[in-house]
Amino acid sequence: MFEFGRELRRLLGGAPLAGGFQDGLTGGDPTLLELLDLRLLINEARAADVAAGRIGARDRPARLVHAAITWREVARRSGDPVALRKAASAAEAACAGFVTAGRSAGVSRAKAEQGLCGMLGADLFGDDGLNAAAERVLEGAVAGSGLGAAAGTAALAGLRGRMAMARGDSTAVEAAAAAFDAPLAALTAAARAGGAARLALVEHRLARAEMLALAGARLKDSDLVDRGAREAGSVVASLDAAYEPLSHARAATAHGTALALKAELTGEIEPAADAVEILVKALEQVPPDHSPLDWAGIQAALGQALIIVGEVSDCPRPFEQAVTCFERAATVLKTMSALTLRARAASGRAHALGRQAEMTGDLAVLDIAVAAQKSELCALRPASDPVAWAIAQLNLARLYEIRADITGRDDGGLAAASVALATAFDVFAEQGMRSLTEAAAEGLSRLRGREKSF
């Protein structure tokens, strides 16, 4: 946990308490949540539930919104689907309470929180259906007024930007980025008077930065990646790591990731090295017990940045370091098989080991990677977690391909890779996971061409 003196200074000098709540450690002030470690945060969420459920509670819908915000933060740090369901349920109940009271601004605020819960669920668990549900709710938030309308408009722009990015539609991505301007201006004005608006401003500025960087990487547009890196860097500069450690670390992670993507596009070593330095510093701000998923996410981002350093420098050492990062992330994620981050970390580890084996010609390294991937497959249950199982199949197929590259012959591995990819394709298509379906399809197409050359 962060030092008590720092927390006390914040408690005494922070923003006025929202609604004058007296329950929990934060007194209803959401800006204080990131100073609590995960254990204390869970206790805070339970206290918020108690406060909202108390008979005769003053302004119960506002208390429910605070409970929703707190439980969503629990889910964001822990990947707990139960916490996310509690957040969504509290936001839904708050919306009903605001409707009964005839408070349109409150309705918008509750609907915006509902939409953010849906988007977080899609990010955590890879369920595109949650994004569709979030879009419908956010459209209702936009129709209202106040902080909720601004936050809902920004969230909706980010959601539509993701959809445009998945389609490869650069015009729609630009339109989504422009759609952030008005709500961010409104949130900037509101942030001068309230901490909740400042949190929303940081969250949505980072959402735009990440959208631009990822869209630029997908569309091979270095200008878009640069814009994303500049936006994330600007957010980092606006935050105080002593009082806003998680927000600062998340912004630094977005900045480092964008710089790594720039290096990947341009082939320049400097932005990749800068990315590694930024991500290493971000790790120092977030102990794993404070926010397990943030810590694991930064480790995975650092692993990806090191892979890019290895590619740009044509050196095997960064790949070895990347494997260590992914393995550290796996220590937190090993019991969270449904999380997309776990799949990305496992995929990154397999990729790093495979590239290390390719560059050194060391089949022993490749054998380690194959054995680890097979162990991963054995530990997974296709019936209960089909997506994680299919991603493991995807990674194993890639390792079989690398073996064929190193040895210059096919010892039956390409046929096994084809079976693994076909199985993964069916699962991803059935689950509606477009990007992974495309990855499996590309792998199958690549294998058909390779089989003819052996």
Q: Could you state, in order of their start, the residue ranges of all structural domains in the chain?
A: 220-359, 361-454
- Quote the mean pLDDT of the chain: 87
User: What is the rounded CA–CA span in Å between residue 302 and residue 308?
Assistant: 10
- Residue 13: the pLDDT is 41
Phi first, then psi: what are they for 268, rounded to 5°?
-95, 140
**For residues 241 and 220, is the Cβ–Cβ distance under 8 A?**
no
- Residue 15: the pLDDT is 41
User: What is the rounded CA–CA span in Å between residue 297 and residue 249?
Assistant: 11
User: What is the rounded CA–CA span in Å between residue 124 and residue 387?
Assistant: 13
- Residue 307: the pLDDT is 96
User: What is the rounded CA–CA span in Å between residue 397 and residue 418?
Assistant: 7
**For residues 314 and 330, is the Cβ–Cβ distance under 8 A?**
no
Domain 220-359: give its CATH code.
1.25.40.10
Residue 120 has pLDDT above 90, yes or no: yes
What six digits make up the tokens of 386? 């089909």
- Residue 394: the pLDDT is 86
What six digits make up the tokens of 135? 């879009």
User: What is the rounded CA–CA span in Å between residue 220 and residue 262?
Assistant: 10
Among 145-154, 164-173, 227-236, 389-398, top mean pLDDT goes to 227-236
**For residues 213 and 258, is the Cβ–Cβ distance under 8 A?**
yes
- Residue 6: the pLDDT is 46
Q: Does residue 363 or residue 183 have the better pLDDT?
A: 183
Q: What is the pLDDT of residues 222-280, one digit of tens each?
A: 999 999 999 999 999 999 998 899 999 999 999 999 999 999 999 999 999 999 999 99
- Work out the percent of the chain whose per-residue pLDDT is above 70: 92
What six digits make up the tokens of 132? 């569709």
Of 207, 357, 217, nearest in space to 275 by CA: 217
pLDDT band, residue 22 (cuts 50/70/90) = low
User: What is the rounded CA–CA span in Å between residue 51 and residue 364?
Assistant: 58
Give percent helix, percent strand, percent coil of the chain, each to the nearest 5: 80, 0, 20
User: What is the rounded CA–CA span in Å between residue 95 and residue 108?
Assistant: 8
Residue 384 has pLDDT above 70, yes or no: no
Reduced to 3 states (helix: H, G, I; strand: E, B; else coil), residue 441 is: helix
